[in-house]
Structure 1
Amino acid sequence: MDKLITISEAAKRLGISPTTLRRWEESGKLIPERTQGNQRRYRLSQIEPATHLRQQDRKTLAYARVSSHDQKDDLERQKQVLELYCAQQGWTFELISDIGSGMNYYKKGLKRLLNEILIGNVGRLVITHKDRLLRFGAELVFSICEAKQVEVVMVNKGEDTTFEDDLATDVLEIITVFSARLYGSRSRKNKKLLDGVKQAVEDSRT
């Protein structure tokens, strides 16, 4: 029997949002039946053939990130690498960027990226290196991408050449926040602690 299912059930089976299904209806891609109460109903026989529509409708997102404003040049370099790579593949894409620690899960761009993935709008994620996504926890995001059938493309699969510098910056930012909370941002103790940490970071880079 060709079962009728709701728009929510159809969206779940296809791995997309109900909003996408409504957009498909408006464009004539996938037309549902209507109940007497004017509710949308989809036949299971419609869902499997509609899989190819999902892939066509989902977008490619490219994501770039650096830890601090001092690294804006590196951010621009990442953007250029992503733009060139996507252009070479012939992909139409949207670029999202963040300036913030790789240990911070609450960056505006990252939150937008995850939301787009979770609601099923993304078919491909392009990054220069996994550490550009998150310093720790990138594998969790990749697992979400796998569950949502999002292809993850890493342009640079080797070691990130700025790993040590970026990690040092992340650690310095964390210590800055906690020392400011402990001593006050303008206190002598706070300044002395931060000067010592900065010197240790500089020494580790030489």
Structure 2
Amino acid sequence: MNRLISIGELAELKAVSVDTIRRWEKDGKIESVRTDGGHRRYRLTDFVEEKLGKTIAYARVSSHDQKSDLDRQDAVLSAYCLSQGWDFEVIRDLGSGMNYRKKGLQKLINALLDGEVARLVISHKDRLLRFGSELIFAVCEHHGVEVVILNKKEDATFEEDLASDVLEIITVFSARLYGSRSSKNKKLLNNLAKSVQNL
């Protein structure tokens, strides 16, 4: 475990760029040692989880009727973290991907800003936020938090993603205008969903 690793290996381990590693060192967040040949190396022991913080797995669904999907996300994230031998906490959240005030998301952001997190694990990029997940990733990079996305595969086409985004926006605004349980709202959403699918 006293092995020395290169800047490239450390960047890969932390899922950040080599420039980020150099910035962290310049800011005094990490230390390097020099080989006899003058090459920069890092002690692997300096980057064990106990020194950096905890692993948080974040799961989210949009509504109560998706509870089974939330349970599935929780199970997949937990199984992955256990397989890696990480000590972890799962934050479960309920609410729109456009809602920045969800309790779980606020808890996650506070933990990131407090420097308590070593690693963030999510099933898909859009589980954090429908729009703006890059902001969370930027906070992670700034605090040296590794981000693990289990499913990076882009299955949906651009048009499918756009249709999904439009439906998300319509759902949020129509729920605010008419009430989430009104029959008028449900009829509107059903008609819009059919229209979008026919594009």
TM-score of Structure 1 vs Structure 2, range by shorter chain: 0.5 to 0.7
Give the percent of matched residue pairs that are identical in Structure 1 and Structure 2.
46
Secondary structure (helix, strand or coil) at the match of 2:66 reads helix
Specify the alignment match of 2:188 in structure 1. Answer: 196
CA drift of 1:73 comes to: 1.2
TM-score, L = length of structure 1? 0.64
The equivalent position to 2:46 in structure 1, one of 28, 35, 52, is: 52
Structure 1 residue 198, shift from structure 2 partner? 2.5
**Aligned with residue 173 of structure 2, among 168, 172, 175:** 175
Partner secondary structure for residue 104 of structure 1 = coil
Alignment of 1:144-163 (within 5 A): 144-159=139-154
1:159 to partner: Cα distance: 2.7
1:57-136 equivalent positions in 2, closer than 5 A:
57=51, 58-136=53-131
What TM-score, normalized to structure 2? 0.66
Q: Note the C-alpha offset of 1:179.
A: 1.7
* Equivalences, count: 154
Q: What letter matches 2:191 in structure 1?
A: Q
Report if aligned partners of 2:60, 2:128 keep a CA contact under 8 Å in 1: yes
Q: Does the CA contact (< 8 Å) of 1:61 and 1:126 recur in 2?
A: yes
Q: Which runs of 5+ in 2 are unaligned?
A: 1-26, 31-42
- The whole-number CA distance in structure 2 between the counterparts of 1:101 and 1:94 is 22
- Runs of 5+ in structure 1 lacking a partner? 1-11, 16-48
Contact 2:56 2:117 in 1 (8 A): yes
Residue 166 of structure 1: CA displacement?
Answer: 6.3
SS at match of 2:190: helix
Q: Deviations over 1:150-192 (max 9, x none)?
A: 0000011113679689646633431233423xxxx49xxx754
Q: Secondary structure at the match of 1:56?
A: helix
User: What is the aligned-residue RMSD (CA, Å)?
Assistant: 3.2
The alpha-carbon distance between structure 1 residues 173 and 196, as it changes in their structure 2 partners (threshold 3 A), is: closer
- The structure with the largest alpha-carbon Rg is 1
Please give the alpha-carbon distance, in whole angstroms, between the structure 2 residues aligned to 1:65 and 1:72: 9
Give distance in 2, aligned partners of 1:68 and 1:92: 29
**What do the CA deviations read for 1:70-127 (whole angstroms, capped 9, x no partner)?**
2111111111110111111111100001110000000000000000000100000000
